[in-house]
A and B are shown apart, each in its own frame.
Chain A
Amino acid sequence: MNPFAKTLGLCCGLLLAARGASAADANLPVGPETLLADPAHDPAWRELFVRLAVSKTRQSQFEERRYFSFRKTPVILQGEIRIVPDRGLSLRYLKPEDRIMIVDAQGLLMRDDEGHERVAPADSRARAVTDALVSVLRFDLPSLEKSFSVHGRSDGDAWTLAFVPRSAALADLVGVLAVSGQGFVLEKIELVRTPSQRIEILISHTQEDVIFSGDVLDRFFR
């Protein structure tokens, strides 16, 4: 039992600012004109969803840019991202520190280079964030549509999808989730709470259908 740690984790979550997302300021397609009423059957988007939802293992490199309201420039972290559909998402940070973050159906797990693990508080708020991330990465539309309205904008091969929380409480927690790319390739994930408080994950060098060995799966997933 570690209620103390859990409570302190929660107390930090509690103290998050209650400012709602302002996606419009972040140049995301979240107006009425971009709302996708039935994305699964929208001819313009159907194929993209089908292609992105395909159960494929993926490995990419990423650069995470964390924008803070009190920083002049974003904090930049780099590493590798691995996606195994039935296991979840694993972010291996290589710079500035070696650290692994796993997002899966059980929640959020952090693992340092010594193998020590920390589980994020499994309260309803933390779960809301991880559940949303897992659903977005799986492009699990039925699940996403329960909590988010889906917006989309395309320009040639380039496309952007934004998932706007239906409830204010979820909006306070996760802001707007956005993914964008070219063709059928995912290139960027954004978590936007305000224009000055957001995280961008730029994805490159993606390899699909990667065969991960048992050791790799054990090391980078739960």
Chain B
Amino acid sequence: MEPRRQKATARLILIAFAALCIGWLACLDFAAKISTNVLDLIPAAEQAPELALIRGFANDVQARVMLFVVEDPATPGVPPRAAAQRLAEELRRQPLFAEAVVMGDEAAQNALGRQIYEHRFELLLPAWLGRQHRAFAATGQPEAKFSNWLAERAATDLEAFLSRPEAAAMQDLALSDPLLLVPGLAMRSQGLTSGGAGAGGHALVWARITVSPLAEAGQGPVFAAVDSAFAQVKATHPGVRLRWTGINRFAAASRARIESELRLLNAASLLAVLAVSCIFVRRIYKLLHLMPVIALSLLGAWTIATLTFERLHILVFVIGSLLAGVAIDYGFYIFMQPSLTPDEPYLSKLRRLLKPLLASCLTTVIGFSLLLFSELPLIRQIGLFVGAGLLCALGAAMLYFAQLERPQLEGREWGALGPGRATPWLQRSLRFLFGGAMAVALVGPWLLHWRDDIRELDIPSPELHANEAELRSLFGENPDSGVYLTQGSSAAEAREHLEEFLADEAKLAPKSTAASLGLVLPTAADWQALGPRLGELRDFAPEFHEALERHGFLADSFQPFFVAWEQVQRHPPDGAYEGLAKSLDGMLSGPLALLSNLHGPNFWFLTMTSEPERVAVPPALHTVGTSQLQSLNTLFSRYRWSALRLSLIGLALVIGSVFAIYPFRRGIRIALIPAGSCFFVFGLLGLAGSTLNLFNLLGAFLGVCLSHNYAIFSSDNASAGTAPPVSIRLSALCTAASFGVLGLSRIPVIHALGMTVALIVLTALMAVELESLARRSR
């Protein structure tokens, strides 16, 4: 092909590619495409239903709750309830708010209390009778004595109840409920320390928003709605102050911080690369020729990743921006390789460099392709982003430099350790050094500690966390208590599982008290047994009357109960269990509605225990603690091993490809440099007592692929006994500088990734520079 035609074709391909990519990206709705939600890092089809439940609970239920605290400094100790009522009214007027209620709103609570009391025979009696039946069965007495036994036991329980502190407040209730169905439920549920509405002079407002707090619509517009509502409150209550919290505050702050981090790191990375280039490149302006290569590589990576995945996590772009450090390698290598003759055509030069370029790029792409098989979406996304970006970088570099008349970037050779400097003393020292490094690489990694914490994906925001903790404590949340979700495929199954979980909890922690809305609902078995059990209790009323008298009660005082009992015996509650669950669901609103899901598709009950949450609940109980961070940490640890397995297979493939392309001795060298650098760095970190995570592992994989490039690009020089090309030094130092900058990130995982890559790349560069000196005989 003629040089001119060749140039035009290359330009056309590049322009068409860029136009296609820009066209696609311009049409994208980035807000919908890019997620900042850490829960999106979990596979949507994660097999454990409990994790799917937590994901749903956290995303759809808990995350939409916003808590507001109103206080008036002018009247300390007096909760400004009128201002809180006004705030709730104003919030309810905003379309972004589905509900807003003042905590301690006695009208709403009274309504629920009344409903539970009125339906006590449907809701509470079946479970009470079931418990008594089981207790009676344990005594081994004949079935015929059950009614009498029950009458005596109920009277005994009522007598004991009168000594309890609650008795004075509930004495009138006991007249119509001497079986203590409602007081019993209240006592079982009050076993937890709870703060109170109005405690400490604060009025509390609980609200639920209609949109996801993780989406843009659930942040800025909601904040504006809160400001607007509070402005209305201030008009009538000028002195009041408002504090509030919600997941959307964290999400917005996190997004802002990541964006700012991205800008800062990219700028710092560019400056670091420029600084390194100034040292090694004679005409610095010529580096601008590398920009289109990097830009096209990133453009291609963004396009292919967004085309492939329906939703991408923002961390892919943070980590993916480092692709620039890898993509620049091919540009440097082509651009800095001197022509064999002054008039060597570009195509001929490219043919000469094609083998190391393809070997380097394709083997790295094979390695990253393996990440596509990871269970973790983030790793799959990074695998595709980097793999596609590398292919685009290589293509763009080859096509871009075809347009230059003389693609040649002159480098400074200073600093190179040429063959003339290989004195015996230096060789001995270097061999000793390599021996030591090998020892570190073999021993150190065994001393490493691994731990994954999903919180490291974000920059900590102590002020928001402190505000959240304070507000939640005012709302009565106790960080020392356990919170669990028990699920089932139907209300009946979820309730059955809850019964099993509560029994297990009672066995494991007998002193623990558990409160759950599920206690208001009987199990399906108890519900179905209610009719027959009532049928067996025909003589219960007179027997209970007698028992009450024996225990010092004026039994006739309980006439309201005996009338109601006769009614319930005559017409026992019946109907489908689903209908009962639905009727309970209909009674719930506000915060109470978030304590269960009785309308599917995932049915669950939330349980709070006075004891701290268990580390692991047996899977058979279908219950999971809601300290989702811990659950996700375990999940991440599992994915780390999956990533390690894939990385090792990828590494084996990369090394296998090298041996397929290069002779054995050169293959050994090319394989040892990246692998040795990686193990040496892990060894150093192990000896330093560091704790690594999934992202150190990903960094190591990236570092190995980069080192692999240097080993390949320096292979010809090593065989010829000459110093490695300056392009490797420049490329490695640029990469180390840009990843080193990432090591300064406040996001712990980015810090881990940056430091690992920078250390491995520097080690590989040292190995490439020194190994030929160490093994060369005089």
B110 pairs with A8, CB closer than 8 A: no
Judge whether A55 is part of the interface by a CB distance below 8 angstroms: no
8 Å CB contact of A9 from B114, B162, B172, B190:
B190
A114 pairs with B511, CB closer than 8 A: yes
CB within 8 Å of A: which of B108-127?
A: 109-110, 112-114, 116-117
Closest to A197 in B: B171
B171 pairs with A116, CB closer than 8 A: no
Complex: A66 Cα to B186 Cα, angstroms: 21
Write out the residue numbers on chain B whose beta carbons fall within 8 Å of the beta carbon of A123.
Answer: 104, 106, 109, 196-198
Closest to A122 in B: B196
Closest to A123 in B: B104
Write out the residue numbers on chain A whose beta carbons fall within 8 Å of the beta carbon of B195.
Answer: 119, 122
Binds A, one of B14-22, B260-268, B529-537, B551-559: B551-559
Judge whether B163 is part of the interface by a CB distance below 8 angstroms: yes
Judge whether A73 is part of the interface by a CB distance below 8 angstroms: yes
Cβ of A201 to closest chain B Cβ, rounded Å = 11
Complex: A211 Cα to B236 Cα, angstroms: 49
Cβ of B239 to closest chain A Cβ, rounded Å = 21
A contacts with B: majority SS: mixed
A96 pairs with B163, CB closer than 8 A: yes
Judge whether B175 is part of the interface by a CB distance below 8 angstroms: yes
Complex: A8 Cα to B163 Cα, angstroms: 20
Write out the residue numbers on chain A whose beta carbons fall within 8 Å of the beta carbon of B190.
Answer: 5, 8-9, 118
B169 pairs with A10, CB closer than 8 A: no
A124 pairs with B104, CB closer than 8 A: yes
Judge whether B515 is part of the interface by a CB distance below 8 angstroms: yes
A106 pairs with B553, CB closer than 8 A: no
Judge whether A13 is part of the interface by a CB distance below 8 angstroms: yes
Cβ of A199 to closest chain B Cβ, rounded Å = 6
A127 pairs with B198, CB closer than 8 A: yes
A125 pairs with B199, CB closer than 8 A: no
Given A69-B557, A72-B553, check contact A1 B186 (CB 8 Å). Answer: no
Given A116-B610, A123-B104, check contact A11 B112 (CB 8 Å). Answer: yes
B196 pairs with A101, CB closer than 8 A: no
Binds A, one of B317-325, B349-357, B469-477: B469-477
Closest to A73 in B: B552
Closest to A97 in B: B163
Judge whether B193 is part of the interface by a CB distance below 8 angstroms: yes
B196 pairs with A1, CB closer than 8 A: no
Judge whether A146 is part of the interface by a CB distance below 8 angstroms: no
Judge whether B591 is part of the interface by a CB distance below 8 angstroms: yes
Complex: A199 Cα to B516 Cα, angstroms: 33
Binds B, one of A14-22, A148-156, A160-168, A178-186: A14-22
Judge whether A7 is part of the interface by a CB distance below 8 angstroms: yes
Cβ of B541 to closest chain A Cβ, rounded Å = 16
8 Å CB contact of B166 from A12, A17, A107:
A12
A5 pairs with B192, CB closer than 8 A: yes
Complex: A41 Cα to B116 Cα, angstroms: 50
B196 pairs with A121, CB closer than 8 A: yes
A117 pairs with B193, CB closer than 8 A: yes
B169 pairs with A16, CB closer than 8 A: yes
CB within 8 Å of B: which of A85-125?
A: 96-97, 99, 101, 106-107, 110, 114, 116-119, 121-125
8 Å CB contact of B199 from A3, A97, A122:
A122
A124 pairs with B113, CB closer than 8 A: no
Closest to A118 in B: B190
Can you list, as one digit per residue, whether each of A131-175 has a CB less than 8 Å from chain B (1) or not (0)? 000000000000000000000000000000000000000000000
Judge whether B174 is part of the interface by a CB distance below 8 angstroms: yes
A7 pairs with B592, CB closer than 8 A: yes
Judge whether A27 is part of the interface by a CB distance below 8 angstroms: no
B167 pairs with A66, CB closer than 8 A: yes
Judge whether A77 is part of the interface by a CB distance below 8 angstroms: yes
A/B interface sample: 21 pairs, CB < 8 A: A1-B477, A2-B194, A3-B590, A3-B591, A6-B196, A6-B197, A8-B182, A8-B186, A8-B189, A9-B186, A9-B190, A10-B109, A10-B110, A11-B117, A16-B171, A16-B173, A72-B553, A106-B200, A116-B513, A124-B104, A124-B198
Which A residues contact B (CB, under 8 angstroms)? 1-17, 66, 68-73, 75, 77, 96-97, 99, 101, 106-107, 110, 114, 116-119, 121-125, 127, 191, 197, 199
The 10 tightest CB contacts between A and B, nearest first, are A11-B113, A122-B196, A70-B557, A17-B172, A2-B194, A8-B186, A5-B189, A15-B173, A3-B591, A5-B190
